[in-house]
Amino acid sequence: MLSVSMSQTPVNTEARDESQTENVGGRRPMDQLRNNSSGRMATETVRDGRVLVLYTGGTIGMIRNENGVLVPKENAFLKKLRNYPHMHDREYAEERFGSMGPLVLPMNATDSRRVIYNVLEYSPLCDSSNMTMDDWIRIAEDIKQSYEHFDGFVVLHGTDTLSYTASALSFMLEALGKIVILTGSQVPIFDTRSDGLDNFLSSLVIAANYNIPEVCVYFGTNLMRGNRTSKISATAFEAFSSPNCAPLAKANIKIEVDYRAIFRPCTLEKFHVHASLNRNVGLLRIFPSITTDLVKTFLQPPIEGVVLQTYGAGNMPMNRKDIIIELSEAAKRGIIIVNITQCSTGCVSGVYESGKQLEEAGVISGFDMTPEAALTKLAYVLSKKEWDIETKRQMMQTNLRGELTAGRPPFLQDLDLVDAVARSLRISSTSELQELGTILFPAMLNAAVLSHDEVKLEALKGYGADISQTNADGRTALHIACCEGDVRIVHCLLRMGANVHIKDRFDRTPLTDAIEYDHHEIIKVLLQCGAHLHGSAHLIAEKMCIAAAVGNVKRLKSYGLANADLSQHDISGRTPLHFAALHNKVSVIQFLLEKGVETECLDKAGQSPYDLAKAAGSAEAMTLLSPSKSSNTLSNEIQSVSS
């Protein structure tokens, strides 16, 4: 079970504000760990980045006992973090949230967001060598439960099986739109000389500030695609490598992200978790003099999928027809056998005769997948009941999450636009090239959106543009399209992988823009792709109250479509119905009553909407809100006022 390690929840990203509850026995249910408004409203201009940390166990949080042996100790990790100045700005946190609020990273002059994070400690803490598929499912489900309430997620995990967990999560978290980072350490974070501090700090900063919708592994100074990593050292601080895929980001003095390398989901669907995995899978490594009986036994029921690790470019001993026969018979029985290389870099190919023999026997290519990715992908694909065996074989050879490079690598167009401009300007340094791309592409993408030009958008993507690249204000092409109101362009951008969760420098998401321009069809499309309300519940309520005060029913409908709570109160305790009553906005009152909002809620002065209507002499509002009316009478009077 989960042990929730704090009693204070962070700021809400939904419209509903949930009250704080007591922390019974140091534990609170997951569904209360939400971004709800709590503590004082932030008065500083710096925005918040919210991160949920799942502490599953591992070396990073271990404590040395009296004998100097590393052991996990329940509830010790969070207590130590609160007293660790690198990890927690106690003065700021206590002023804003109270002594038992979320943890807050210290800030420096270059930070654009204040990183606020909550820690969920698993109980019992799990040594990574004990990790199972059930643990992968638990992590995935915990991310699902809190997905809409945090900007990013960090999973603290033991290093031994970290790559297996990262690979599995990359497949299980379908249509992922936010970053999930797995990290750990070779030495406990509280030791004098530890890699844990940098790994954890960097993971938090990246998760709170960068929109990279992938499951990643952070170790050393590299942010790597999770399903491309393997542990390569038991002792080095650079313990993980991504042999066939360059890092997505490097964290040195500056964090440099290769946005063109990010694998973005291009389907119009909402984030969801595939929580079922096939456990009848295994790894079979070919070695000299391997016996036929061993291979035959390995391929017996209940086995349904095998990752076959062969020599070099996917080769088998050519004089072992006995093994080829066993593999062929297994493939005919419906067992999916995936061929990957034993080498740490490179991929399998059919350049040698022995590789061709395997292909003819029904063994399929795993290209350049790591063993961890191939095994977890096989467990994922085989669990898809809606796919037949041929579809499953095809999916194993399809690049689903950036886990493989099939055939020709995904090159950009032969003429890279940025390179062409750089040559004309005599620019050659990497930093200048990156800066040029951040200027050119957002401007051209936004221009294509404004001209409603789908062809140009497709062309720019082909030339290397990251469709979710931000301009100087942190705004993307999708932000602009949601202001413009062209559903066709919005669909086009989403199909190309545009991310619905990116916040600009004003903390506005594309959904915010769609709401404030009342583009109802676009709101529906964004919700279909997983968009949700961000920001303080009180601030959302304030905007709805303003709309109610001026009689803007269309705006309230926009918020309603976006799943806002139309009964949400502002900081003074007043709801949109209070303001509609005070200003006698009959059409707004009718709309809100039809939506079933609370009518007896009291503001901080103890006044209900009816009380305000009475005080302001708003006759029509008083008629509609009279507390003595029955539901039938009220319905008739709404119709009467309407007519």
φ/ψ of residue 420, rounded to 5: -65, -45
Summarize pLDDT for 83-113 with one digit per residue, the tens.
999 899 999 999 998 888 899 999 887 777 8
Residue 243: closest CA among 405, 394, 411:
405
Summarize pLDDT for 403-442 with one digit per residue, the tens.
998 754 444 443 466 666 666 666 666 665 666 666 778 8
User: What is residue 7's DSSP assignment?
Assistant: S
Task: Please check the confidence at residue 19 and state whether its pLDDT lies above 70.
Answer: no
Q: What is the dihedral of CA 36, 41, 44, 49, to 10 degrees?
A: 0
- pLDDT for res 459: 86
- pLDDT for res 536: 85
Q: How far is CA 346 from CA 338, 343, 499, 521, in A?
A: 16, 7, 31, 47
- pLDDT for res 643: 46
Average pLDDT over residues 21-31: 40
Residue 320: closest CA among 297, 344, 352, 287:
287
Q: How far is CA 71 from CA 53, 56, 155, 159, in A?
A: 20, 14, 19, 15
Please give the structure tokens belonging to residue 108: 């420096």
Instruction: Round to the nearest angstrom and report the end-to-end CA distance of the chain.
Output: 57
What is the spatial distance between Cα 200 and Cα 181, in angstroms, rounded to a whole number? 10
- pLDDT for res 421: 64
Can you spell out the DSSP letters for 527-544? HHTT----S-HHHHHHHH
- pLDDT for res 275: 94
- pLDDT for res 99: 82
Summarize pLDDT for 159-195 with one digit per residue, the tens.
999 999 999 999 999 999 999 999 999 999 988 888 9
Residue 625: closest CA among 599, 607, 606:
599
Sign of CA pseudo-dihedral 531, 535, 537, 539: negative
Summarize pLDDT for 427-437 with one digit per residue, the tens.
666 665 666 66
Alpha helices in 243-291 (DSSP H): none
Residues facing residue 156 across a β-bridge: 55, 183
Task: Please check the confidence at residue 612 and state whether its pLDDT lies above 80.
Answer: yes
- pLDDT for res 94: 92
- pLDDT for res 178: 96
- pLDDT for res 41: 53
- pLDDT for res 416: 60
CB 166: neighbour CB atoms within 10 A? 30
Task: Please check the confidence at residue 590 and state whether its pLDDT lies above 90.
Answer: yes
Region of 615 (left: φ > 0; alpha: ψ -120 to 50; beta: rest) is: alpha
Summary mean pLDDT of the chain: 86
Give the type of residue at 189: I
**Residue 487 CB burial class (10 angstroms; 0-12, 13-18, ≥19):** middle
Q: Is 341 a catalytic residue?
A: no
Peptide bond just before 317 cis, omega within 30 deg: no
Residues facing residue 114 across a β-bridge: 48
Please give the structure tokens belonging to residue 410: 């995904």
Catalytic residue among 9, 13, 56, 59: 59
560 in Cβ contact with 566 (< 8 Å): yes
Highest mean pLDDT among 354-358, 454-458, 626-630: 454-458
366 in Cβ contact with 337 (< 8 Å): no
Which has more confidence, 444 or 578? 578
Task: Quote the strand ranges of 470-539, DSSP E.
Answer: none
69 in Cβ contact with 85 (< 8 Å): no
SS3 call for 159 = coil
CA atoms within 13 A on the CB side of 533: 27
Task: Please check the confidence at residue 37 and state whether its pLDDT lies above 50.
Answer: no
Average pLDDT over residues 59-67: 85
- pLDDT for res 113: 87
Percentage of residues of the chain with pLDDT beyond 90: 66
Please give the structure tokens belonging to residue 320: 């072992």
367 in Cβ contact with 335 (< 8 Å): no
